[in-house]
Amino acid sequence: MSCGRPKRDVDLVQIIDNALADAARNAGDWLVCGPGCSQCCVGAFVVNRLDAARLRTGMDELFEKDAERAVRVRRRARDYMDRIAGDFPGDIQSGILREDEDGQEKFVSFANDEVCPALDPETGTCDLYRFRPMTCRVFGPPVRNQDGSLGVCELCFRGATDEQIAACELKPDPDGLENLLLETLEATGERGNTIVAFVLAK
């Protein structure tokens, strides 16, 4: 999964971060996310080529600014990949996840106890925070799932009513810029999703 980060991904990140800031203001004390809160950093999740390109840019920058930290991230990612190689629901060489029904079913129980290699185990913070995937960026506030329901972090909005939760809904990327950028990347011929650890291990 090799690709360069599109220039307009910076615009996408700004759009998402602005939407998140609005949602956080609306949520107030309902939103308990903060440095050191890393429950959402446990368990594998799917990242697309745009996320992968952003993460690679982050790794390049980290190697320039703090090579020792970057080496630690890469080491954690490679150790992670060594541990899960036999269960990887896809092509372990390319890192591409299977998209058929069987592959998706296997992913549900795949690497659920693995900690993201970008997470610094000493500080509980992300070493690649500015370059984190979209899944990470929108986690916490209520976000509309594909089935139309509102998903929310189990640590947040405890005791809130459905109406209070709905009033804090995060509406990221209303113009579909992420899909546009992803389509542009995939037009180069390489397609498919992977996981964070594979991206950072290379």
Rounded alpha-carbon distances, angstroms, from residue 128 to 61, 89, 120? 9, 25, 10
Beta bridge partners of 126: 119
Q: How far apart are CA 58 and CA 128, in angstroms?
A: 6
Q: Is there a contact between 24 and 165 (Cβ–Cβ < 8 Å)?
A: no
- The phi and psi torsions of 89 (rounded to 5 degrees) equal -85, 60
Per-residue pLDDT tens digits of the chain, which is 202 residues long: 546 889 999 999 999 999 999 999 999 999 998 888 899 999 999 999 999 999 999 999 999 999 999 999 999 999 999 999 999 999 999 999 999 999 999 999 999 999 999 999 999 999 999 999 999 999 989 998 888 888 888 899 999 999 999 999 998 999 999 999 999 888 876 789 999 999 999 9
Tell me the pTM.
0.92
